Amino acid sequence: MFATKSIDKLISESEDPERSLKKTLGPVSLTALGIGAVIGSGIFTVIGTAIGGNPSKLADWKASPIIDLILHHGSVAGRPGAGPALALSLILVAIVCGLTGLCYAELASMIPIAGSAYTYTYATLGELIAWIIGWDLILEYAFSNMSVSVGFAAHVVDLIDWLGIKMDPKWLSPAYLPLGLQDLAGHDIYQPGWHFGFNIPAFLIVLILTVILVRGIRESARTNNIMVLVKIFAILLFIFFGLSFIHPGNYHPFVPNGFPGVLAGGSIIFFTYIGFDSVSTASEECRDPKRDVPI
């Protein structure tokens, strides 16, 4: 269970002509791959939740942060929002990301094999821990993909609604609604529980991206490069037009929920780890991983 596999053997197996991946990525495509995963739901979708938090009327131990349970032996009502102090949350996340990025750069350049943390664990801690990490990675990517696809779908639906195309709410919401579904006026569209239908736009987005990925890394990288340029342009456009709406009076109180709110805001927007993992996973498809991955 704790048998490890040597780095030399891992690399030699990856160079087997029958199992090797095409080495087509350079530093630009690799960097765009990481940025494409980093700039996503954390900025475009859940930023409002990070600012306002997840308010709850009743304290529930299942929804409480682990630190609060350990230190105070009690539960909190939902997650506190960061408020204007989200700027501090972003700085903390940036520091964590910088340290995480250095770790991934070191390991991915030493072991340039697809599999990222699974492969690193297999080479150092053994098969059992690697098996656990492998399932963790599947859960990470599943959670991240679901969050991003649902957020992306919401923006697509808003766009087609702006163009005058209306969609039935049945095909825009999860199949299970614990609180039901209400319109803007507060009227019930669906009662709590299961209903016939699911989020079709999110499903189609994942399906389209899967087809692009199956076609090959070169096509995937090209598509991702275009999407990254679009996202960076959207952020710069938002900053440019948003400058005139800055009112310092809104910054009081700056930290409405104290340091726990700052930490909670950072944790809500922290999708960035997937970006580093994506880059390290793609290191096997780099032309020169020892140079390109650290860049």
Model pLDDT, residue 240: 93
- Quickly state the pLDDT bin for 189 (edges 50, 70, 90): confident
CA atoms within 13 A on the CB side of 238: 8
Segment 85-88 long-range contacts (CB within 8 Å, at least 24 positions apart): 85/254, 85/255, 85/256, 85/261, 85/262, 85/265, 86/47, 86/50, 86/51, 86/265, 86/269, 88/255, 88/262
The full set of domain ranges for the chain reads 7-13+20-292
Measure the CA–CA gap between 284 and 69, rounded to whole angstroms: 42
Measure the CA–CA gap between 183 and 256, rounded to whole angstroms: 30
Q: 157: which residues sit within 8 A by CB, 6+ positions away?
A: 167, 172, 201
Model pLDDT, residue 128: 94
Model pLDDT, residue 88: 94
Helix-then-strand count for the chain, H and E: 13, 6
Q: Look over the chain and give the mean of its residue pLDDT values, rounded to a whole number.
A: 83
Segment 78-116, tens digit of pLDDT: 678 899 999 999 999 889 888 888 888 888 888 888 888
